[in-house]
Amino acid sequence: MSKNLGFILYQRVVKLCLLSVLLYFGCRAILTNISGVMSNVFSVNLPKNEYILSSGQAMNPRFSEMSLQLFCFVPTYEKMLSTRAVAVRDTWGRRCDRMIFAADEDNKTFPTLKMGEPGRKMLWAKVRDTFEFLFDNYLEKYDWFYKGDDNTYVIVENMKLHLSKYDPDRPWFFGHRFKAFLKEGYVSGGPGYVLSRGALRLLGPKLKMNNYTTTGCMPGHQNGGPFRGEDFRMGECLASLGIAPSRTLDEKGRELFHVFNLEGVLSDVKGLTWYHFFNYYPHKGKFECCSERSVSFHYVSPQQIYAIEYLLYHVNPVVHNLPM
């Protein structure tokens, strides 16, 4: 009798163990399905190879690991220091790994560095002198060098994400591409442009020469006539080195660098004949205008700079990517 009882107890223990195993895997499958459904409802739909930091900002592990170093500079003027320049300094400028303002005079309290000649018409001299200064002092210390305007807003994280795909020791030139005047076009100065260390390494020696005929690089004291602004002159210098603007569209053909502010790029800009004449890629209106990983917007007032900063870094929506 005791043997039968023992055998019965043994069978029940085996059955209980089997039932426990089945329950474990069954519950696990159910929980996995529920988790999948919930993640689809509440996901942020980040691009591949991205993750969310505690601050809520999306970053790419590759440039975090390689410690991508970005040097930013902004040409400005004394009368703009208390309005435009201070807005840049106190917002997106803080996210560059190094930031300087190239101005008409040295100002240790702001601070600024005196570069080029005073006045808006001498912008090329200011930009040229600053890039020569970067070549002499920071070439091997930074990977990328960005020139922006004092009425531009830059999403530095998105810029670094884009740049992380490229080798900084090769000659790269990124920004909003125009097609006029040069065979391969040039890049608009408004939303800013980025040179790799490899590009600056080639450009630096040319900037030290002042013979336009032999170098193809306009001396700093000459502006160059109508439709020959600072951005064209930079494109001309780089073209003489065989460096053309590289593509700055996302996988859906949407722009990263924007010539106008957000209101401007969301419009159809049909009346802006000059823009369509210059623009290398056809403009797309409304929500197709801009990449989800847009880098910069131009013609942004100081008030708009602070407003964008607040919306991007101080507002946390509860639910992302709801159907439109």
Greatest Cα pair distance, the chain, in angstroms, is: 112
Q: Which has more confidence, 265 or 194?
A: 194
Does 1 have pLDDT greater than 90?
Answer: no
* CB neighbour list of residue 201: distance below 8 Å, 6 or more residues apart: 135, 139, 171
The pLDDT score that the predictor gives to residue 67 is 80
Question: Is the previous residue joined to 111 through a cis bond, with omega within 30 degrees of 0?
Answer: yes
Does 134 have pLDDT greater than 90?
Answer: yes
Are the CB atoms for 256 and 295 separated by under 8 Å? yes
Question: Cα 10 to chain center, whole Å?
Answer: 68
Does 57 have pLDDT greater than 70?
Answer: no
Q: What band does 32 get if pLDDT is binned at 50, 70 and 90?
A: very low
Q: What band does 199 get if pLDDT is binned at 50, 70 and 90?
A: very high
The pLDDT score that the predictor gives to residue 213 is 60
Look-up of token digits 């040069």: 182
Total Cβ atoms within 10 A of residue 28: 10
Whether pTM exceeds 0.85: no
